[in-house]
Amino acid sequence: MILIWIGLAAALIYGLKNTVYGRSLYALGGNRLSASRLMISERRYWVGSYMVSGAVSALTGALLLGWSGGGFIGVGNPYLFMTLAAVVMGGTSLLGGYGGYGFTVIGVLVLQVLTSFLVGIGLKFEWQQFVFGLLILPMVALYARSPHIRTQI
């Protein structure tokens, strides 16, 4: 399973960096005005991104349903905060303009090692979430202090 994920991650990183669709998507995320001046169709790329996101979310929900053995309303709740933590720890700014899937993969790996360590020392789930929150706060504060993408272009 890990080898499949590594292959998909490498293909996605390559696709986002080296294809017209990926570069246009990064351009839209960085500065919408500049992207529109480059004749990038904002609606087309946003609709496409939401379609891919919805399809991947549906597949993830189906896989989670099969793994958990039954569906209930809060089956995905433990994963919400971990997802945000992985994105922030990977260096993606929540304010927009900087980041990428490769950095998020690094954030996932760092959080997996940290989770293994916290479980190994016997910390409860709630305290693990507290530690992740303590890690996210300084990262968000650092991103807020960095110059915004609009001032760099």
74/80 Cα distance (integer angstroms): 11
Sole residue written with tokens 């994105």:
87
**pLDDT tens-digit series, residues 31-82:** 778 888 888 888 888 899 899 999 998 998 888 888 878 777 778 787 887 8
Return contacts of 143-146, CB within 8 angstroms, 24+ apart: 143/93, 143/94, 143/95, 143/98, 144/95, 146/93, 146/98
Quick one: pLDDT at residue 135? 81
Q: Which residue has the higher pLDDT, 152 or 109?
A: 109
Here the tokens at position 68 are: 């958990």
Nearest to 29, CA basis, from 100, 108, 105: 100
- Locate 72 and state its tokens: 């209930």
Could you read off the pLDDT of 104-142 as tens digits, one per residue? Answer: 888 888 888 888 898 899 988 888 888 888 887 877 777
- Burial zone of 32 (CB within 10 Å; 0-12 exposed, 13-18 middle, 19+ buried): middle
pLDDT of residue 128: 86
Query: In the predicted model, is pLDDT for residue 151 greater than 70?
Result: no
Q: Which residue has the tokens 């929900």?
A: 61
Q: Which of 10-14, 87-91, 103-107, 125-129 has the lowest mean pLDDT?
A: 87-91
| pTM of the predicted structure, to 2 decimals | 0.69
Is pLDDT above 60 for 148? Answer: no
Decide if pLDDT at 4 tops 80: yes
Please give the Cα distance from 83 to 79 (Å, whole number): 6
Domain ranges of the chain: 1-74, 76-153
Checking phi first, is residue 147 left (phi over 0); if not, alpha (psi -120 to 50) or beta? beta
DSSP conformation class of 148: P
Burial code (b: 16+ CB inside 10 Å, e: under 16) for 99-123 equals bbbbbbbebbeebeebbeebeeeee
